[in-house]
Amino acid sequence: MLKIEKNILFLWIAVIVFIRITLFFPHRYLDGIRVMNTVTHLLLLIFVVMSAIRNKSNGRFIYINFSIFFGSIILLYGSSFMGLSIFKSNHYIPFYYHFFVSYIFQGFLASFMVIYIVIDYMSINSSPWKKYSSSIMLSLGLIMVFFSPYWYNPMHISSEPSYISYKNLNNEWQKYYSQEGKYPTSSELVQIIQNNSQLSASVKTDILQNINEWDELLHSNNPTAVFWAPLNKIMMYLNLFIVGIIIFLLSIMFYYDKPYYPYIDKLMTAFAIFFVLEAFHSYAASNVLFIKSYREMVTIGQYFTVGILLAFIYLYHLNLRFIISPVAFYYQETIKISPQKVTRWRDEIDTFVLKYFNNKIGWGKRIAQTDNIQ
């Protein structure tokens, strides 16, 4: 084991200990898989920070962006403590924190990270500040478009028809319980809905068509899921849009086939899977009528997310070993100054593909041997 790998391991152990200590403070419920998700993100943060520090080329800016993205898990983890251990006296802080950190900031970071790589690949010789300014403006524009109903007035979400309908029905539900000493049955709930003068005819029809799901939702007493459902739907579309950008990036990488920083294409492929899973999580969270299925889907999805994060660890480990190798600085500088002097870097994954799929796909001519790089 290399010295840098030992340092990463010791740092990660220290991070795990710190996370376990924080769980002694008042916080919202965090199941084991979510805690594991957090500590895995933090291990990736350590890997990419080390890669950024040891990378002497302009490629380090990509790893700085990666570190900001993975490091944002600290802010997401902190949302579980808002209003309970932190800012306990202000009831609005948890709402605004969750809105701007979990949705606006996360959406911005994800789109910025991917857009920066697209711009860097297409104009590798441009100065970093031009790439950053272009990426920031495009990402901000994307966020403003997707979150246009809410970013300038976050409390607008409380006036969504689905949330208003839920509050209305929940009030009638609780009133029935206080009078009868029991919750209404499905048939009694139908009667409550039909006699409710505050619901429009179209809303009543929609609710009655999903009466069993509404009954389950009211039993769960989970207004938070209904409240955040519109933003989760937006995040689903945003994540799918980011997947589209990644597919575009991989397409131009394959088409132009010019040398680029090693492992970026593999990392982007992994990120495409990651954002598909994120879209799945958002989809599950936006379908609040199926509250039981939502919990099951989110839990299952978390396991798949941890799986892809483990794949990230493998890729970033390979990448870090390349970065600290003697040839790394020369290769990464050469693809910027004289890309015609080098070919695409052939790594372990390329070797595996060539060994088992070369005859079927014919990629051998697209990837050169590493010993051809002088």
Return the minimum-mean-pLDDT range out of 163-167, 191-195, 309-313, 363-367: 363-367
Confidence of residue 19 (pLDDT cuts 50, 70, 90): very high
Give the separation between CA 206 and CA 193, rounded to whole angstroms: 11
Q: Quote the percentage of the chain above a pLDDT of 90.
A: 39
Those residues with Cβ within 8 angstroms of residue 55's Cβ, 6 or more apart along the chain or in another chain: 63, 323, 328, 332
pLDDT value of residue 303: 84
Residue bearing the bigger pLDDT, 66 or 347? 66
pLDDT exceeds 60 at position 360: no
Give the separation between CA 118 and CA 124, rounded to whole angstroms: 10
Average pLDDT of the residues of the chain: 84
pLDDT exceeds 80 at position 136: yes
What single DSSP character describes residue 156? G
CB of 214 closer than 8 Å to CB of 280: no
pLDDT exceeds 90 at position 359: no
pLDDT exceeds 60 at position 291: no
Give the separation between CA 269 and CA 208, rounded to whole angstroms: 43
pLDDT value of residue 244: 97
Q: Which of 117, 354, 158 is nearest to 248 (CA)?
A: 117
CB of 148 closer than 8 Å to CB of 107: no
Give the separation between CA 63 and CA 50, rounded to whole angstroms: 9
Q: Which sign does the torsion angle of CA 139, 140, 145, 146 carry? A: positive
What kind of fold does domain 3-155+231-336 have according to CATH? Rhopdopsin 7-helix transmembrane proteins (1.20.1070)
pLDDT value of residue 201: 83
Provide the CA 231 distance to its chain's centre, in angstroms.
14
pLDDT value of residue 341: 65
Q: What is the DSSP string of 61-88?
A: HHHHHHHHHHHTHHHHHHTTTBTTTBST
pLDDT value of residue 373: 40
Give the separation between CA 321 and CA 237, rounded to whole angstroms: 36
pLDDT exceeds 70 at position 200: yes
Q: Which of 52, 41, 38 is nearest to 4 (CA)?
A: 52
Backbone torsion region of residue 234, taken as left when φ is above 0, otherwise alpha when ψ lies between -120 and 50, otherwise beta: alpha
